[in-house]
Amino acid sequence: MKKMIFIIVILISMILINGFVYATGSGDVNNDGRLDIIDALLVAQYYVGMSPSGFIFANADLNDDNKVDIIDALLIAQIYVGIIPDPGPGAKIIIPHQSWPCAMPGGIPVPEDGSLVFEANMQLDQIFNMGRTQYGDRQVFIIKSGTITGTNISGSVMSGGLDFQLDLSNGTVEIEQLLVLRTNNGSYIFLRSPGTGVSRDDVRMVWDFEAPNSSSYSWLNSGKYAGRRIVDTAAKTMRISVYDVSGVPVVPDSSNSITVTKPSDVEYQSWDYRVKDSFERNGSQFITENVTLGGSISIGASKRGSRNIIPITGGTVTGNINGVILSAGADYQNLSNPMTIDARYLWRTNDGEIIIVRNGGTFGSLVPTFEVRENSSYSYINDRLYLSSDPGGGAGGVQITFYESTR
C-alpha cells in the first residue's frame, strides 16, 4: 500500500511538471469508452503487480515501448487533465483476426494516411440492439437514405442498406455493411464491406466496390480502400469516409502493429454462407415466407461477374416462427454460371425479437442461417441446420419454404 501511495504521489507531481510527450495508444485501459483518471490508476496497479479487472494491455502502452509502466500512467493522466492532447485514432497497423480477415489479412493501415476518395452522410431508419447472440453483442442499423460527395464521384445511398456491428467482451469490434450507391450519372455500385478494430476508438473499414466495368467508375474495382464509419445513435446518422490506401506501405512488426483477438467463449462469425452438404435432405417443414420485393437493380458485369440486386420490402413468416419481414436488405444475386443467391434480411417475430436471416447458395442447394439473441425463445435456430426451397411465385414477390435438415 505504501508503494502504491508513493507511486500516486509521483504521478501527480509529474503531471504538474511534464511537458508534451506524444502518445500512441488509446489510453482507454478498461474499455469503458472514455479516457479518465481511473485508466491511469489501473495502469499504476498493473505496474506494482496487481491484476486489475478488464485491463487491456494494448490500450495501456501509450509510449509504444512494449511495456506498461508508470510512464504510461503519467501519459494517460496528462491527457485527462489536458496537458497533452488525446492521441485519437491509433497510429498502428491493425492485423485482423484470422476468422474475419477483412480482405487485408496482412494489415489495415491508418486510413487517413491515404487520400480521401469520398464521404457519405446517411440517415438511419431503424436501430436494433439485439443483445448477445452466438457471435457477441449485436447491433443492426437500417439505412434510410444518404448522399455521397467526392472529387470524382457523387450521388446517393439507396434505402434499405444494412450495417451489422458486433461487439465482443474484450473490446474487439467487427462490422459488415451492405450498401447500394446510385451515382449522379445513373450507375449503380454495390458495397459489401468488412471492418474491425481492437476497440471502438479505432475501427477501420475495408471498402469493397462492385462497379460496372463499362462505367466511368470501373476504377473502384481495382483499388485498395480503407476508411472510417461514425455512428450517432441519438441523431440516427452514419458517416463513412473512403480513402485510397494503395500507396500506403504496410510492413507490420511488433512495434508498429496490433493484432485483433477474440475471447474463447464466442463462435466465430463467417463471411461466407454455409454450403449444403451432399448428405443433407429436407426434413420437417420449419417456416414459410412470403417475401415482397422491389424493382431489380442491375450492377451489370463487374469484378465478380454480373450482379443483380432485388430489394426486400416486407412480407410474412408463418410456421414454427410467426412474424413479419422488415423492409431492409436484398437478394444480392450473382448471375454468373452457376447463378447464386445471397439474401440478407431481417425478421421481427410477433413477440418482438429481431432475427438476422441469410439464405444463400445455388438453385437447388439453398441454405438459410440465423442469428438471434441467445436468451430468446428462438435461440435454438442459432445452432440447428436448415435447408431452403428455391423461390416460387408469391403475392407481390416470392414464396420460400425452410425445412429442418436431415440425413
Topology match between the domains 94-259 and 281-406: yes
For domain 2-81, give the CATH number.
Answer: 1.10.1330
Identify the burial level of 229 via C-beta atoms within 10 angstroms of its C-beta, where 0-12 means exposed, 13-18 middle and 19 or more buried. buried
Look at residue 8 in the predicted model and tell me its pLDDT. Answer: 56
Q: Residue 15: how many CA atoms within 13 Å on its side-chain side?
A: 19
Q: What is the pLDDT, as a whole number, of residue 367?
A: 97
Answer yes or no: are the C-beta atoms of 277 and 215 closer than 8 Å: no
Cell numbers found for residue 233: 445513435
Query: 104-130: b or e for each residue (b if 16 or more CB lie within 10 Å)?
Result: beebbbbbbebeebbebebebbbebeb
pLDDT tops 60 at residue 19:
no
- Look at strands 257-259 and 93-95 and give their pairing: parallel
| pLDDT tens column, 358-403 | 999 999 999 999 999 999 999 999 999 999 999 998 777 899 999 9
- Is domain 94-259 given the CATH code 2.40.160.20 in the classification? yes
Q: Which three cell numbers stand for residue 188?
A: 449503380
pLDDT, position 41 = 85
pLDDT band with cut points at 50, 70 and 90 for residue 86: low
pLDDT for 354 beyond 90: yes
Q: Is the pLDDT of residue 203 over 90?
A: yes
Q: Which of 6-10, 168-172, 280-284, 373-377 has the lowest mean pLDDT?
A: 6-10
238-262 confidence digits (pLDDT tens): 999 999 999 999 999 888 899 999 9
More confident residue, 326 or 254: 326
Residue ranges of domains in the chain: 2-81, 94-259, 281-406
The three state secondary structure string of the chain is: CHHHHHHHHHHHHHHHHCCCCCCCCCCCCCCCCCCCHHHHHHHHHHHCCCCCCCCCHHHHCCCCCCCCCHHHHHHHHHHHHCCCCCCCCCCCEEECCCCCCCCCCCCECCHHHCEEEEEEEEEEEEEEEEEECCCCEEEEEEEEEEEEEECCCEEEECCCCEEEEEECCCCCEEEEEEEEEEECCCCEEEEEEEEEECCHHHCEEEECEECCCCCCCHHHHCCCEEEEEEEECCCCEEEEEEEECCCCCCCCCCCCEEECCCCCCCCCCCCCCCCCCCCCEEEEEEEEEEEEECCCEEEEEECCEEEEEEEEEEEEEEECCCEEECCCCEEEEECCCCCEEEEEEEEEECCCCEEEEEEEEECCCEEEEEECCCCCCCHHHHCCCEEECCCEEECCEEEEEEEEEEC
Q: Is the dihedral of CA 163, 34, 72, 49 positive or negative?
A: negative
Per-residue confidence (pLDDT) for residue 73, from 0 to 100: 80
Give me the sign of the Cα torsion angle 97, 344, 228, 154.
positive
Which class does domain 281-406 fall in? mainly beta
pLDDT band at 39 (very low <50, low <70, confident <90, very high): confident
More confident residue, 295 or 11: 295
Tell which residue, 344, 346, 340, has the closest CA to residue 366. Answer: 340
List, for residues 180-190, the tens digit of each pLDDT value: 999 999 999 99
- Cα gap 110→393, rounded to integer Å: 48
In whole angstroms, give the CA distance from residue 147 to residue 237.
12
Provide the residue count of the chain.
407
